[in-house]
Amino acid sequence: MPVRRQLLKVLALRLSAPTLAAAPPALAAPTWDAVESGTVLRFPQDHGAHAGFRTEWWYITGWLEREGAADAGFQITFFRSRTAHPDANPSRFAPTQLVLAHAALALPERGRLLHAQRAARAGFGLATTSTGDTRAVIGTGPEAWSLSRDPATDRYRAHAVSSDFSFSLELAPDAPPLLQGQAGYSRKGPSRSQASHYYSRPQMAVSGSIRTPRTASGKPSDRSDRTVRGRAWFDHEWSSDYLGSQSSGWDWIGINLDDGGALMAFQIRGTDGKPTWRDATLRRGANGPVRSGLSPVFETLRSWRSVRSGALWPVSQRVRIDDLVIELEPLFDDQELDARGSTGITYWEGAVTASVSGRRIGRGYLELTGYAGALRF
């Protein structure tokens, strides 16, 4: 007991001593960079990552022609997320940047997406998104997923591999980046802070190979390798305040028109399901004039309900943009992607055909978010 009393006395003296060192201050959460109108996008630097912004993605979707099989769709997206973890934390294990990725094949003979996802914290040679030019990687060796741009040729290479499928593709743009919104400043809501820096590269020529299960068994010994070619759409977007608190998700299309033109359109939906913001950009022909700041109207033609998520997805839509009225029909209905293991959401990402009065005018992708629960970044 005397020893215990002595220890308590020493402790009391130390706590009351004026020379006692103060507890270290709490580390401050980071302040994300803001999207500002008037910012001039500069290339190749803006092909790369913007680490000070909260959210960023490099997104490729397209249609593939397969010899001896029906045309198919594909998607690969890399995400970079700057967390709220304090930058001042000196630990190399501090997860200040996350790298995530989704990949999918839409094969009509299967009637359901083959898809996979990856997620890792940046660093340790396991995941990175480079500044200065496009380079995103998750993993190491032949199993790594990657997306990169060759500055000498302006060509992109995308690689993804999973237990169900893999693909290695080269993508060649036909023109300089197409700036969305006001010279790359794309509003997403009534507040000017609800915006992104956004450019697209439509009409990318695709070549490469895919490996898929030959039959529904999906056994590794029963795979099919095919050389493919096609046409793709590329988006690069970064923001710190993409959706307001009253927004639940969006409907978005990127369509490569058969005449060489390009159409991007989206609507942001509020929690009541009604549009809160709309925007569209239309390029007529391969080298024709570009009209931006258009106001598209989306109308559901047909919906499909998922037995997995319970979500009702408007998979067939009519989109009106001034005098242009197109109808979108999916390659097949079940193009739902469960990404709760990485980005935490379930969304619909589908290959669609665009028609006017029953005549095909292009092909591309329709993306639907917020129907399986309000989207939150």
Residue from 100, 173, 91 nearest 138 by CA: 100
Which pLDDT value is given to residue 90? 64
* For the chain, percent of residues with pLDDT exceeding 90: 70
Domains in the chain, CATH or no CATH each: 43-368 (2.40.370.10)
Q: Give pLDDT, residue 17.
A: 40
Question: Which two three-digit tokens encode residue 200?
Answer: 């697209």
CA pair distance 5, 118, nearest whole angstrom: 57
Q: What is the pLDDT of residues 73-86, one digit of tens each?
A: 999 999 999 887 66
Residue segments in the chain with a per-residue pLDDT below the cut of 50: 1-24, 221
Query: How much is the pLDDT for 376?
Result: 65
Instruction: Round to whole Å and give the CA distance between 98 and 81.
Output: 5
Q: Which two tokens stand for residue 54?
A: 């909260």
pLDDT at position 219, please? 53
Q: What pLDDT does residue 95 have? A: 75
pLDDT (0 to 100) of residue 215: 58
Rounded Cα distance, 253 and 369, in Å = 12
Q: HSE of 367 in the Cβ direction (CA atoms, 13 Å)?
A: 23
User: Is cis: bond before 289, omega within 30 of 0?
Assistant: no
- Amino acid, res. 89: N
Q: In residues, how long is the chain? A: 377
